[in-house]
Amino acid sequence: MYDSTCKFIALEYSRDLATWLLGKPLDLTEIKPSELSLEPIRADSLIFLESEELILHIEFQTDPKEDIPYRMLDYATRLYRRYQGKPIVISNKYDTSKK
């Protein structure tokens, strides 16, 4: 449920979410499909900031998982290969409300 809710928020409020995560107001954003090539993996949210030619990759987690550093490296590598030259900002947000 948490993951689905966060994905919905990222899809419906991409500009607001990107502004909050990056700490500055942003203009145009575009949501692209989040499936990355090779063995299919699906990022929670990829926000393409046209105003800064920047990719904001957001992953939502309820608990820290042991494999997350490797998954994030995999995402970053695939994004780099597909969108060479664009800076990539990765944000990994954990749900701390239940602690």
Q: How does pLDDT run across 18-58, given as a tens digit for each residue? A: 888 888 887 766 666 666 556 666 777 777 776 667 888 88
CA distance 35 to 46: 10
| Dihedral, 70, 85, 24, 97 alpha carbons, nearest 10 | -10
Q: Which two tokens stand for residue 23?
A: 């700490």
Q: Which residue has the higher pLDDT, 58 or 94?
A: 58
Q: Spell out the domains of the chain, with CATH numbers in brackets.
A: 2-94 (3.40.1350)
Contact 74, 38 (CB under 8 A): no
Pairing of the two strands 29-31 and 35-36: unpaired
